Amino acid sequence: MGSEQTGTGRVTVFPLTHRWPDRRCLVAYTTTGHFGTTAVVGILPVPELEHPDLLAVAADHHPQGLYGSRGGHENACAGWVICTGWSARIGGSGPRLDLTDAGWRLRSGRSIELAAPMYGHDVLHTGTFALDDAEQTKQALRLVR
């Protein structure tokens, strides 16, 4: 299984309906690495909600051919995950929490080196996400309660 990564920086937390109409989870997106070239997207566990594997959710949602064929299916799924996090950060509708200086941890389930940069990222790390600050965690949980 994966390793644990830590960091401090901008974190965007948002609810995601991963299976229509009512199966939701809470997702966190941040970046790390030189100039933020590594995307970190994880599930922030909520006891009463499912904790899906984001790459499996991506496989269920992306049409064949999305993001081109370069890199194959795994690369396309990684692109879907990154696009979901990046899109929540830059706008979109619905609730979200944008923390500017948050300590975080990711227990990594998967890491994927992308065939080509996507949204400024060349690597994706995904897994189980946690915020270091208890008050920020409470704020995040209010997005789905």
Per-residue pLDDT tens listing for the chain (145 residues): 468 999 999 999 999 988 777 888 999 999 998 889 999 999 999 999 888 999 988 888 765 555 555 568 888 899 999 999 999 999 867 899 999 999 999 998 899 999 999 999 999 999 999 999 999 999 999 999 8
pTM for the model: 0.90
How far is Cα 145 from Cα 143, in angstroms, rounded to an integer? 6
Q: Provide the 10 A C-beta neighbour count for residue 50.
A: 12
